[in-house]
Amino acid sequence: MTANSELAAEHRVTIGDVPVFAHLPSPREEIRKLVEESAEVFGAFERMDTAKRRVVAYADPSLPVDGLRDASDTLIAAETDLRDEIADVVQVVGNLCAGVGIEDLRPDIKRCRERNEERGREYA
């Protein structure tokens, strides 16, 4: 089991109700926005990953403490940026669902889980 799968085994992601915009863009526009926001998640992840490696590098006691402090501040900012970008994706998904008349994704998430389990993917 990898570190990521161990983390997943201990956690469940809670998203909650997603409020939607009062004036929804067209579903086609929301799909374009979903692609754009997903790319921004990738960029934010790359920045966070780079920041994590800097923190690890500065953990060397022979390096100046200021460098570790700066690297840690950068990591915190990068993690916040990643969370914000993921939230943007969730917002767009909520708007898209509302725009096509979907009010409750729970049955669809259940079917998704069943499909994944049929493909051999394990859940906690």
pTM of the model: 0.83
| pLDDT tens for each residue of 62-80 | 766 677 778 888 999 999 9
Q: What is the pLDDT of residue 63?
A: 66
Is a pLDDT exceeding 80 seen at residue 87? yes
Determine contact, residues 40/24, Cβ cutoff 8 Å. Answer: no
Q: How many CB atoms lie within 10 A of CB 44?
A: 20
What token pair was written down for 20?
């939607």
Say if CB 37 and CB 88 are below 8 A apart.
yes
Say what the pLDDT of residue 1 is: 45
DSSP symbol at 90: H
In the predicted model, is pLDDT for residue 106 greater than 60? yes
C-alpha–C-alpha distance, residues 124 and 104, integer Å: 23
